[in-house]
Amino acid sequence: MAKTALSLHKKGGAFVLDGVKGSSATLTFERGMRKGTVTVGGRALPIAATGRGRTRVTAAEPAILCLDGQGAFVPGGGAPVEWRTSKPHRGHYRATLVRGSDEIDFSLSRSDGKSVQIAVTGQWDELELLALAGSFALLSRRRGDTYRKIAIAGVVSHGPH
C-alpha cells in the first residue's frame, strides 16, 4: 500500500501544500477562517466550514466534496468515505478520511500551529484537493474554538462585581 507524507504550511498570506511533485496547491482563508479558497492546478474553488463547531466542510458550488462524518463524499469512485474527527486534546487536532483500507490522516499540533501534517495511505483521486480540504477543516475548527474560548473568558471575567 502506497504511503505518502504531505504537509501544509503558511507562506505569506496563504497556506502551501508540500510533498506532491510539481504541485502549486494553495489554501487561502477569508476573515474568521470560516470560508476560503483552495487552488489546485490553477482551478480555484470556494470552501466553507459550516455547522455547529465548524464540523462540516464543503468545496465548490454545487459541492464536489463534503467532509461530514458518514455523509462525506469526495471526487472519484470507490467505496464510501467517512470523515472522522476527534475532540482536541491539549491543543492537538486530529481527523481521518477513510475509504475502505485507504486513509488520509491530518494532524495539527499546538506547538506548530501554522502547519498541518498529512499522512496518506492508498490511492486517492484529487489528493491535493482532499489534503487542502482536510487541512482547512482542522484550521477552521481550531479558529472557531479559539473564538469560543475568548467569548467565554470575556463573559466570565465581566460577571457581577
The confidence score (pLDDT) of residue 82 equals 94
The confidence score (pLDDT) of residue 79 equals 86
Digit-coded pLDDT (tens) for 101-151: 999 999 998 666 678 999 999 999 999 999 999 999 988 876 545 544 455
Length of the chain: 161
The confidence score (pLDDT) of residue 107 equals 93
Name the grid cell of 148.
469560543
Digit-coded pLDDT (tens) for 4-51: 999 999 998 899 999 887 778 999 988 777 799 999 999 999 999 887
H/E stretch holding 129 reads helix 127-157
| pLDDT of 81 higher than 80 | yes
The predicted model scores a pTM of 0.82
Q: In what order do the strands lie in the sheet with 56-59?
A: 65-67, 56-59, 43-50, 35-40, 26-29, 14-18, 3-11, 115-121, 102-108, 93-99, 82-85
The confidence score (pLDDT) of residue 147 equals 40
Q: Which residues contact 52 (CB under 8 A, 6 or more apart)?
A: none
Are 3 and 121 in contact by the 8 Å Cβ rule? The answer is yes
